[in-house]
Amino acid sequence: MSLIDVENLTLQFKTDEGLITAVDDVSFSLAPGEVMGLVGESGSGKSVTAKSLMKLNPGNAVYSPESRITLHLDSGPVDVMSLKRPRDMEIVRGGSISMIFQEPMASFAPAMTVGSQMVEQLLIHTDLSKKQAKELSIEMLDRVGISDASTRFGQYAFEMSGGMRQRAMIAMALSTKPKLLIADEPTTALDVTIQAQVIDLMKDLVAEFGMGIIFITHDLGVVAQTADKVAVMYLGKMIEQGPVREVIRNPYHPYTKGLIDALPQLDDLEKPLMPIPGDIPSPLERPAGCVFHTRCGKVIGDICRTVVPQWSDTGENHRTACHLCAEG
């Protein structure tokens, strides 16, 4: 039983320079209680994909008619693409789906206390009274490890340290008990010890609430620690997906291999870092065929330059979109 199914998601932005394809025919599913890492370099379309699930992309976004996003709730399936009225969209915006961002200041209005924002959100999305909403908010702040939660409830976000703000944002995102949490680079701006604490906290919360998490990051190391499965994106395309250990041990796509080789290895500090050569092409000039062919060291001929690779099975629940797969 899946929590969310994304099928053939394609999204373009209308800009003064022309149409930018940000997401190209992306499909994936997530089960309740499952954590999926969404990785790729900057500009690969991770955030735009995630925001589509909440219909949060701006007005210049155009979805292809084939794009389908189905959220499975206890009350039945929700066709996210067809949600239009603000009232209907509340279900995917802070209701059944919550999102946390890299910069928690962006989630908090500067002129309201953290507590009053938490209460306001609960009043919109639940049937709780104001008093119950306050109690739950303080309980959630306490649960994410903020000491003296009732005092912190009355503070503004700028009065908190970076790590505490991050925790407060997680508490706010989780207080409505979302079915799906989207975490967009939630630990990037934190120092490593706090990063580890936030990751541990998220793991505990998944176990307790049984929600699904989509964890967006540049860092495959963080994915290895947190996720059950991983999906790799490059220039709007999903190019490999599978169980996290399997993909990290047996990456198939040359781009995924490149991301893994670019990771520093603590047990072999002499080993030179191997960055992926070249730059990501402009989304206005996306390469034909396989979008990665302009940087790929394994091009096998014109097929890579002209034909879009289809998915091939490359292991148990592991699939890769690369012409090398067909070569065996």
Should residue 45 be labelled a site residue for ligand ATP when binding is judged by CB under 6 A?
Answer: yes
Should residue 46 be labelled a site residue for ligand ATP when binding is judged by CB under 6 A?
Answer: yes
Cβ atoms of residues 139 and 133 within 8 Å: no
Should residue 186 be labelled a site residue for ligand ATP when binding is judged by CB under 6 A?
Answer: no
Q: Helix, strand or coil for residue 203?
A: helix
Within 10 Å of residue 237's Cβ, how many Cβ atoms? 23
Q: Give whichever of 40 and 95 is closer to ligand ATP, judged by the CB atom.
A: 40
What amino acid is encoded at 146 in this protein? Answer: I
- Min. distance of Cβ 286 from ligand ATP in angstroms? 10
Should residue 101 be labelled a site residue for ligand ATP when binding is judged by CB under 6 A?
Answer: no
Q: Give whichever of 59 and 301 is closer to ligand ATP, judged by the CB atom.
A: 59
Q: Which of 60, 53, 46, 179 is nearest to 102 (CA)?
A: 46
Should residue 47 be labelled a site residue for ligand ATP when binding is judged by CB under 6 A?
Answer: yes
User: Which one of residues 1, 16, 58, 301 is an interface residue with ligand ATP (CB under 6 A)?
Assistant: 58
> What is the C-alpha to C-alpha distance for residues 317 and 34, in angstroms, rounded to an integer?
14
Should residue 43 be labelled a site residue for ligand ATP when binding is judged by CB under 6 A?
Answer: yes
User: Which one of residues 15, 129, 306, 310 is an interface residue with ligand ATP (CB under 6 A)?
Assistant: 15
Should residue 22 be labelled a site residue for ligand ATP when binding is judged by CB under 6 A?
Answer: yes
Half-sphere exposure of 255 (CA within 13 A, CB side): 27
Distances (CA, A) of 49 to 24, 100, 179, 214, 265: 10, 15, 18, 11, 30
Q: Give whichever of 106 and 207 is closer to ligand ATP, judged by the CB atom.
A: 106
Point out which residues pair with 231 in neighbouring strands: 38, 241
Q: Which of 236, 215, 240, 313 is nearest to 25 (CA)?
A: 236
- Min. distance of Cβ 42 from ligand ATP in angstroms? 3
Should residue 55 be labelled a site residue for ligand ATP when binding is judged by CB under 6 A?
Answer: no
- Both tokens of 290, joined, read 């396989």
Cβ atoms of residues 285 and 303 within 8 Å: no
Cβ atoms of residues 227 and 309 within 8 Å: no
User: Which one of residues 4, 28, 37, 44 is an interface residue with ligand ATP (CB under 6 A)?
Assistant: 44
User: Which one of residues 18, 19, 60, 66 is an interface residue with ligand ATP (CB under 6 A)?
Assistant: 60
- Min. distance of Cβ 256 from ligand ATP in angstroms? 15
Residues binding ligand ATP (CB under 6 A):
13, 15, 20, 22, 40, 42-48, 58, 60, 218, 283
